[in-house]
Amino acid sequence: MPSETPEFIEDLVEWYQGVRRTLPWRTSRDPYRIWISEVMLQQTTVAAVIPYYDRFMTRFPTLATLAAASVEDVLEYWAGLGYYSRARNLHRAAQALQKNIAASGSFPQTHLELLEYSGFGDYTARAVSSLAFGERVGVLDGNVIRVISRVDGRRSEWWKPAERKILQARADAWAAEKKCDPSDINQAMMELGATICTPKSPSCMLCPLRNACVAYQHRTGKLSPSALPLARPRRTLEIWHWKPEVTLKKGAVRLIKNDYAPFLKGHWILPGTATIKTTKPKRFHLRGSVTHHDIYVELPAKNQNTSIRSRPSPQNECWIPLQNLKAKVPSSLIRKAIDTTLNLRTK
Ligand code: SF4
């Protein structure tokens, strides 16, 4: 089955061309604009992304402007989207791409070339190469996995590499329909998953794939739309007790490159200690979560000695003026820890 191109691809594309939403990144085939939108869309929904995307594009309208910006500037315009390592990789990739373009004169056009850059995973590379340059490869995001699983009636453990390979081959087979532009095929699959073949209560009666869909034919049971795709087992939450130190000097707060906590890896963070727990700690002032880390924050006591205990190398330490915190420190948990400590100290 993986190598067969289904017969309904032309119907799917025709449906898409009739219903496609007008979105800011769909106004051109500019690879830079498509790339930024695809990375942002991995974080959240289309509606939530649009204001971030517009703001980002106003500040960094071209690859050259993004490559020339400082990483702090990029993080400031990413703040609110989460997964800050993606913003850092995006920036690093923009610099490498810009260098490459200066040497070769063009943006890399195939997914294999794009995969050489740190900001491109398999999904993003395929999305950019097919949407911007028409490379005939399929894309595999959550929407596409859902559509393929239901249409084919596949009860696969799609989060496992071997199964993903099979699903990827299936998505490639869909994109192989020569009568249609692969950009349209891939966007049609994603659009169908986002608007019709939704996780809960899919609108099968409006679906152009209804006649070919195994899940639709089953309606109930193990192969029904509500049973597919299989639910990914949840990663267990880890409880962490974080005791940050808040040291101030001339209106600036001391941060270090995170070398001790498993959450916010690679970020500027307050120095301190982080200990894994089996139950919620008795004493804490704040609670926050970062991915699968459930973090209980115990702030320094009012009269805690704030002299500097550890002294990392200068490039791993910085002092951020309090008025620049929001711009320079994207993590709301760190900002809350600082704000709450300052409030406690003034009481
Ligand atoms: S018929 Fe229903 S389950 Fe099948 S692809 Fe369409 S919306 Fe999804």
As a whole number of angstroms, the distance between CA 6 and CA 176 comes to 9
- Domain shared by 30 and 105, yes or no: yes
Ligand 1 centroid, distance to 154 Cα (angstroms) = 13
As a whole number of angstroms, the distance between CA 67 and CA 74 comes to 10
Range of the domain at 69: 9-227
**Is 315 a residue whose pLDDT tops 80?**
no
Phi, psi of 256 (to 5 degrees): -125, 160
- Domain shared by 289 and 212, yes or no: no
Average pLDDT in the 32-60 region? 93
Sign, CA dihedral 102-103-105-110, equals: negative
Quick check: is 74 in a domain? yes
Ligand 1 centroid, distance to 17 Cα (angstroms) = 18
Quick check: is 130 in a domain? yes
Domain edge (last residue) among 227, 251, 271? 227
**Is 307 a residue whose pLDDT tops 70?**
no
pLDDT tens by residue, 205-237: 999 999 999 999 998 899 999 999 999 988 889
CB of residue 188 inside a 6 A radius of ligand 1: no
Q: What is the pLDDT of residue 291?
A: 86
CB of residue 150 inside a 6 A radius of ligand 1: yes
Q: What is the pLDDT of residue 235?
A: 83
CB of residue 288 inside a 6 A radius of ligand 1: no
Listing DSSP states for 128-168 in one string gives HHHHHH--------HHHHHHHHHHHT----TTSHHHHHHHH
**Is 305 a residue whose pLDDT tops 60?**
no
Sign, CA dihedral 80-127-66-316, equals: positive
In this structure, are residues 187 and 22 in contact, taking their beta carbons and an 8 Å threshold?
Answer: no
Q: Which of 49, 2, 21 is nearest to 192 (CA)?
A: 21
> What is the number of structural domains in the chain?
2
- Domain shared by 148 and 184, yes or no: yes
If you average pLDDT over every residue of the chain, what do you get?
91
Measured N-to-C along each axis, helices 71-78 and 46-59 cross at an angle, to the nearest 10 degrees, of 150
Q: Which atom of ligand 1 is nearest to the CA of 209?
A: 6
- Domain shared by 222 and 250, yes or no: no
In this structure, are residues 283 and 241 in contact, taking their beta carbons and an 8 Å threshold?
Answer: no
Q: pTM for this one? A: 0.77
Please say if 38 is a catalytic residue. Answer: yes
Domain edge (last residue) among 227, 260, 291? 227
Q: Which atom of ligand 1 is nearest to the CA of 213?
A: 4
Average pLDDT in the 245-270 region? 90
- Domain shared by 182 and 318, yes or no: no
**Catalytic position from the list 4, 7, 10, 38:** 38
What's the CATH number where 24 sits?
1.10.340.30
- Domain shared by 31 and 180, yes or no: yes
- Domain shared by 76 and 168, yes or no: yes
> Confidence class of residue 1 from pLDDT cuts 50, 70 and 90?
low
Q: What is the pLDDT of residue 109?
A: 95
